Amino acid sequence: MDLEDWRREIDILDQKLLELLNRRAECAMEIGRIKQAIEQPIFVPEREKSILNRILELNEGPTDDEAVRRIFQQIIDESRRLMQKNQES
């Protein structure tokens, strides 16, 4: 494959990642609605730690664990922000 082939591959993967991120956000917002209904807190540190640990166990590279941790921490933070925003509206 040449440079343009690799770029097209990345474009396809970016689209799929965006679709998955938006689906994850929908799930997080639904979880936020359920938590609000049953009066549970949005932020559960143990759950977030569990998610990160699980992801790191699954990581086979070449992305190193620290990069994976930063990426998923940002995803989790944005999911929590969406949950909180949804509760405020």
The pLDDT of residue 86:
84
**Per-residue pLDDT reduced to its tens digit, 32-49:** 999 999 999 999 999 999
| SS3 per-residue string spanning the chain | CCHHHHHHHHHHHHHHHHHHHHHHHHHHHHHHHHHHHCCCCCCCHHHHHHHHHHHHHHCCCCCCHHHHHHHHHHHHHHHHHHHHHHHHC
Q: What percent of the chain has pLDDT over 70?
A: 100
Tell me the pTM: 0.90
pLDDT of residue 89: 74
